[in-house]
Amino acid sequence: LTFRKHEMTLWFGFSSHGKSQAVQNQVASLMSQGKVTCVASFEQPPEMTLSQILLNFTAYPNLPFHEEFDPAYAYMAKNVFMYKARKRADPKHLIQTFIHAHKRYGIDTFVIDNVMTMSIDRGDNTAQAEAMDLLRMFVSKYPVHLHIVAHPRKPPEKTTNPPGMAEIRGAS
Q: What is the mean pLDDT of each run of 10 residues along the chain (172 residues)?
A: 92 82 92 93 84 86 75 91 82 94 96 82 80 94 95 64 58 43
Burial class of residue 118 (count of CB atoms within 10 Å of its CB; 0-12, 13-18, 19+):
buried
pLDDT at position 164 is 62
Residue 170 has a pLDDT of 41
Per-residue confidence (pLDDT) for residue 121, from 0 to 100 = 76
From CA 131, how far away is CA 120, in angstroms rounded? 8
What pLDDT sits at residue 28? 93
Nearest to 111 by CA among 123, 97, 125, 121: 97
Between the alpha carbon of residue 160 and those of residues 16, 106, 146, 151, the distances in Å are: 13, 42, 29, 16
Residue 53 contacts by C-beta under 8 Å, 6 or more apart in sequence?
24, 27, 28, 31, 39, 76, 80
Q: With contact defined as beta carbons under 8 Å apart, do 138 and 5 qualify?
A: no
State which amino acid sits at residue 19.
K
Instruction: Please report the pLDDT score of residue 33 as a whole number.
Output: 92
d(CA 167, CA 32): 35
Rounded CA separation 1/85 (Å): 28
Q: What is the pLDDT of residue 47?
A: 85
